[in-house]
Amino acid sequence: MPVAFCARTGEIGIAASLPKGMLAIAYGDEPKLQSAIRSHAMVGPDGETPVVPGVPYAVSDKAALSAARRFAKRLSATLKQ
């Protein structure tokens, strides 16, 4: 099952399995993951890359993790609809 994940930079990706060093934020059907991410993510500086809100500017790893967890809960709620 595909996994959506984020890096400490907040950048979001989707892969068949969780890449080393990344934080899983949701599992599910890839088109549904992409749709949920588009609905809730910020757009990165390049104008294309989805980014977890609050993670890039978090003052600590703990704050970044909290932001990623909040985002994961929003994704989960959207995916359950």
The predicted-structure confidence for 48-78, as pLDDT tens digits, reads as follows 999 999 999 999 999 999 999 999 999 999 9
Nearest to 55 by CA among 65, 44, 43: 65
- Enter the pTM of the model: 0.93
> For 1-81, where are the alpha helices, taking DSSP H only?
30-40, 61-80
What pLDDT score does 62 carry? 97
Range of the domain at 32: 3-80
Please give the tally of structural domains in the chain.
1
